[in-house]
């Protein structure tokens, strides 16, 4: 019989029935034993046992005039397996935990009056040749498919790969909140190197702090792949932007994972 997980949990959650489950975990008991242990009348206890039996949590063994209750271990194994699946750690859990730790550290530094700065680098081997990787980064229509961390959508993406060209990005979270970033292209070597500023903006369109990205594309160790190097430098953040600056590194980890996915799926036709 397939266990109705929600029904079983709802039945067990009632305080008296929860106590009954714990009693039967020690050993099977007669209906009278259960009533005595609970300090309850037998008719009331019988109703609770019937509810647990209907949900498949226990079994009532009718042994002549005796009624002995025991846990249905198969149901409990189903519940344990279900909770076990929920307890499995995912990549998003790891990212969130690292992000939370980074936010706590950044907020403490900002509260101490320290101007926040950050620098990190990534190296990736992408599953596509350099021209395809370059296009995925510089064609706004393709960049919009990967340039958003988990739980965000790209609302607007603009990137003009010429010196002084405009770079802008607007992301929307599930609750409708939008986050805008903007900047300019500082250096470009077509097909090989980009240096651009893309900084988060406040409600009035002013940069909260400066973020400069340097991206290099080279032929990878095997064909057709690309060796990508990304360097990110952020500076000038204050306490208002502590969470944003702390989220840059885990956010870019997710973005590069998404970029790999886009290139891996589209490489033959990109």
Kindly report the CATH number assigned to the domain that includes residue 17.
Answer: 1.10.10.10
Does one domain contain both 219 and 137?
A: yes
Domain match, 57 and 146 both: no
Look at residue 242 and tell me if it is in a domain. yes
Query: Is residue 184 in some structural domain?
Result: yes
Give the CATH number, domain containing residue 187: 3.30.530.20
Axis crossing angle, helix 5-13 with helix 15-26, rounded to the nearest 10 = 100
Burial of 223 (0-12, 13-18, 19+ CB in 10 A): exposed
Phi and psi for 190 in degrees, rounded to 5? -50, 125
Shared-domain flag, residues 120 and 79: no
206 and 78, same structural domain?
no
Do 151 and 66 belong to one domain?
Answer: no
Residues 231, 252 contacting (CB under 8 angstroms): no
Q: Is 122 left (phi over 0), alpha (psi -120 to 50) or beta?
A: beta
Other CB atoms within 10 A of residue 259 CB: 25
Q: What is d(CA 161, CA 138) in angstroms, rounded to the nearest whole number?
A: 6
Q: Are strands 66-71 and 152-159 parallel, antiparallel or unpaired?
A: unpaired
Listed residue (148, 188, 193, 189) closest to 170, CA to CA: 148
Residue 54 shares a structural domain with residue 136:
no
Residues 255, 152, single domain; the answer is yes
Q: Is residue 95 part of a domain?
A: no
Q: Could you list the residue range(s) of the whole structural domain that residue 137 is in?
A: 115-266
Name the domain boundary from 72, 87, 102.
87
Retrieve residue 196's tokens.
């651009």
- Please provide the distance, in angstroms rounded to a whole number, between the alpha carbons at the two ends of the chain: 50
Residue 76 located in a structural domain: yes
Mean pLDDT per 10-residue section of the chain, whose length is 270 residues: 86 96 96 94 94 96 92 94 89 79 82 85 96 96 93 94 95 94 96 96 93 97 95 89 88 94 72
In a domain, 107, yes or no: no
Is residue 93 assigned to a domain?
no
| CB contact at 8 A, 54 and 17 | no
pLDDT of res. 265 = 84
Domain presence at residue 106: no
* Domains identified in the chain, total number: 2
Tell which of 87, 105, 135 closes a domain.
87
Q: Token pair of 251, please?
A: 């956010």
pLDDT at 192: 96
Let me know if residue 121 belongs to a domain: yes
Taking the C-alpha atoms of residue 86 and residue 97, their distance in angstroms, rounded to an integer, is: 17
Statement to judge: residues 133 and 30 lie in one domain: no
DSSP letters, the chain, are: ----HHHHHHHHHSHHHHHHHHHHHH--EEHHHHHHHHT--HHHHHHHHHHHHHTTSEEEEEETTEEEEEE-HHHHHHHHHHHHHHHS--HHHHHHHHHHHHHHHHHHHHHTTPPEEEEEEEEEEESS-HHHHHHHHH-HHHHTTTSS-TTEEEEEEEE--STT-EEEEEEEETTS-EEEEEEEEEEEETTTEEEEE-EEB-TTS-BSSEEEEEEEEEE-SSTT-EEEEEEEEEEEE-GGGHHHHHHHHHHHHHHHHHHHHHHHHHTTT-
pLDDT value for 268: 45
């Amino acid at each position: 019989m397939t266990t109705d997980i929600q029904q079983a949990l709802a039945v067990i959650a009632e305080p008296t029935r929860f106590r009954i489950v714990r009693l039967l975990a020690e050993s099977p008991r007669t209906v009278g034993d259960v009533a005595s242990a609970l300090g309850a009348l037998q008719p009331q206890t019988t109703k609770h046992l019937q509810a647990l039996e209907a949900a498949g949590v226990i079994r009532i063994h009718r042994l002549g005039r005796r009624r002995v209750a025991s846990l249905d271990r198969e149901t409990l194994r189903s519940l344990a397996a279900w909770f076990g699946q929920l307890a499995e750690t995912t990549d998003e859990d790891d990212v969130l935990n690292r992000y939370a730790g980074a936010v706590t550290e950044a907020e403490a530094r900002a509260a101490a009056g320290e101007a926040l700065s950050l620098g990190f680098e990534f190296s990736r081997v992408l599953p596509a040749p350099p021209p395809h990787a370059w296009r995925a980064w510089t064609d706004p229509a393709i960049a919009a498919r990967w340039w958003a961390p988990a739980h965000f959508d790209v609302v607007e993406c603009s990137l003009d790969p010429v010196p002084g060209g405009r770079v802008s990005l607007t992301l929307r979270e599930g609750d409708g909140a939008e986050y805008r970033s903007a900047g300019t292209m500082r250096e470009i070597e077509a097909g090989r190197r980009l240096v651009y500023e893309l900084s988060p903006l406040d409600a009035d369109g002013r940069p909260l702090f400066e973020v400069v990205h340097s991206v290099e594309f080279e032929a990878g160790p095997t064909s057709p792949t690309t060796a990508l190097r990304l360097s990110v430098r952020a500076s000038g953040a204050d306490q208002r932007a502590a969470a944003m600056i702390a989220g840059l590194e885990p956010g870019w980890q997710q973005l590069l994972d998404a970029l790999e996915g886009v290139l891996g799926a589209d490489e033959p036709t990109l």
